[in-house]
Amino acid sequence: MSRTNLIVFGTRPEAIKMAPLVQKFLKNKNFVTKVCVTAQHREMLDQVLDFFEITPDFDLDLMRPNQNLYSLTATIIENMKPVLEEVKPDYVYVHGDTTTSMAVGIAAFYSGAKICHVEAGLRTFNRQYPFPEEFNRQLTGKIADYHFSPTELSKSNLLAENTKEENILVTGNTVIDALLYGIDKVNAENFKDAEIENLKTILNFQNKIILVTGHRRENHGDGLISICAALKTIAEKHPEVEIIYPVHLNPNVVGPVNELLGGIKNIFLVSPLAYPAFIWLMEKSYLIITDSGGIQEEAPSLGKPVLVTRTTTERPEAVEEGTVILLGTNTDSIIEETEKLLTNVDYYEGMSMLHNPYGDGKSAERIVNFIEAL
């Protein structure tokens, strides 16, 4: 008798990182696999579903403008009940550290399904940084039955919390499966993409392109103001540089960023890019400034230096290997480090080596094999 999977996600990064698993399970005849999106994100989620050609079986359509954590958590749990009752899954898969992951984990526990946590064991050990993600992933780790850790380090974090070793599998991060699939598709001869064509008209690729993203809740307010001040100074002092910032749709980000950086000649503020255009642009960039988790994992595979506007990271592997520097949000530190990378060729080259601390593109396959063998 075939077993039933329910794969659930809600935001852009979860969708990118779960897409390879959805694709693999849908091809496997030993499982019935259903996909549910909470749609904690809407436009930014739909962009990913389009690219990976995923049609969810259930779409809870829960995003509300400037939503808060209380109501989002409560509505996810409530809205998962009928889905879980209809599908009666043997296994529910959640990803990482969002409110969707944590709330779906709780609902899945109530349903009696086995809970499979993809991207398990990342830790900063500080519940306020990143907020609320560190709390979400610790809680999801407690709820989960099976833990798919991207690296040995994330596995050791789980072991230190007394998680049973036989329930942990080091898989690599599915973000690399997605990246390799994406890069292949984008570089295929017949691939046409309106966003990429548009980027070619607005940016001058003879210049050094700095790609920026930022959205973390703990950076809202002062942190974001300080980052924007650094970007403004860099743009003014370096006309040979073009800064492109696909601005996250969170109103606490869009508002201040447009106000502080709008109208500067070599700063281009654009809407969030769909995944193909974004990875194409990462490849073309000179350097990346970000507080994103996923981008810290992708950039080493593309050999791009990353300045992280956070003081802690749950992804220390690339910091140790030297492609990623943790800077925090201090304006002077961001300017100083960016200028060093713009002017010191040896320093730049030292940070631009290609390496893959986060996986080899076979993570989803390992997860499927593990579940199949249970």
Catalytic residues: 97, 119, 133, 215, 217, 248
CB of 161 to ligand UDP, least distance (A): 22
- Residue 138: which of 115, 161, 155, 159 has the closest Cα? 161
CB of 298 to ligand UDP, least distance (A): 6
Residue 13 near ligand UDP by CB under 6 A: yes
Stretch that binds ligand UDP, among 140-148, 225-233, 290-298, 327-335 (CB under 6 A): 290-298
- Residue 214: which of 244, 245, 258, 242 has the closest Cα? 245
Which of 5, 7, 8, 12 touches ligand UDP by CB under 6 A? 12
- Closest to ligand UDP by CB, 228 vs 281, is 281
Answer for the pair 328, 311: CB distance below 8 angstroms, yes or no: yes
Which of 36, 76, 84, 273 touches ligand UDP by CB under 6 A? 273
Residue carrying the six token digits 């790609």: 211
42 binds, among ligand UD1, ligand UDP, none (CB under 5 to 8 A by kind): ligand UD1
Which of 52, 181, 275, 280 touches ligand UDP by CB under 6 A? 275
The span from the CA of 189 to the CA of 152, in Å, is 37
Residue 295 near ligand UDP by CB under 6 A: yes
Residues 213-272 contacting ligand UDP, CB under 6 A: 213, 215, 246, 272
3-state SS, the chain, equals CCEEEEEEECCHHHHHHHHHHHHHHHCCCCEEEEEEECCCCCHHHHHHHHHCCCCCCEECCCCCCCCCHHHHHHHHHHHHHHHHHHHCCCEEEEECCCHHHHHHHHHHHHHCCEEEEECCCCCCCCCCCCCCHHHHHHHHHHHCCEEEECCHHHHHHHHHCCCCHHHEEECCCHHHHHHHHHHHHHHCCCCCCHHHHHHHHHCCCCCEEEEECCCCHHHCCHHHHHHHHHHHHHHHHCCCEEEEEECCCCHHHHHHHHHHHCCCCCEEEECCCCHHHHHHHHHHCCEEEECCHHHHHHHHHHCCCEEECCCCCCCCHHHHHCCEEECCCCHHHHHHHHHHHHHCHHHHHHHCCCCCCCCCCCHHHHHHHHHHHC
- Closest to ligand UDP by CB, 169 vs 302, is 302
24 binds, among ligand UD1, ligand UDP, none (CB under 5 to 8 A by kind): none
Which residues form the interface with ligand UD1 (CB under 6 A)? 11-13, 40-45, 63-67, 69, 97-99, 132-133, 215, 249-251
Which of 223, 294, 316, 357 touches ligand UDP by CB under 6 A? 294
295 binds, among ligand UD1, ligand UDP, none (CB under 5 to 8 A by kind): ligand UDP
275 binds, among ligand UD1, ligand UDP, none (CB under 5 to 8 A by kind): ligand UDP
214 binds, among ligand UD1, ligand UDP, none (CB under 5 to 8 A by kind): none
CB of 12 to ligand UDP, least distance (A): 5
298 binds, among ligand UD1, ligand UDP, none (CB under 5 to 8 A by kind): ligand UDP
CB of 246 to ligand UDP, least distance (A): 3
Which of 25, 58, 278, 286 touches ligand UDP by CB under 6 A? 278
249 binds, among ligand UDP, ligand UD1, none (CB under 5 to 8 A by kind): ligand UD1
Q: Give Cα 104 to chain centroid, integer Å.
A: 18
Please give the size of the binding site for ligand UDP, defined by CB under 6 A: 16
Residue 358 near ligand UDP by CB under 6 A: no
Q: Which residues bind ligand UDP (CB under 6 A)?
A: 12-13, 16, 213, 215, 246, 272-273, 275, 278-279, 292-295, 298
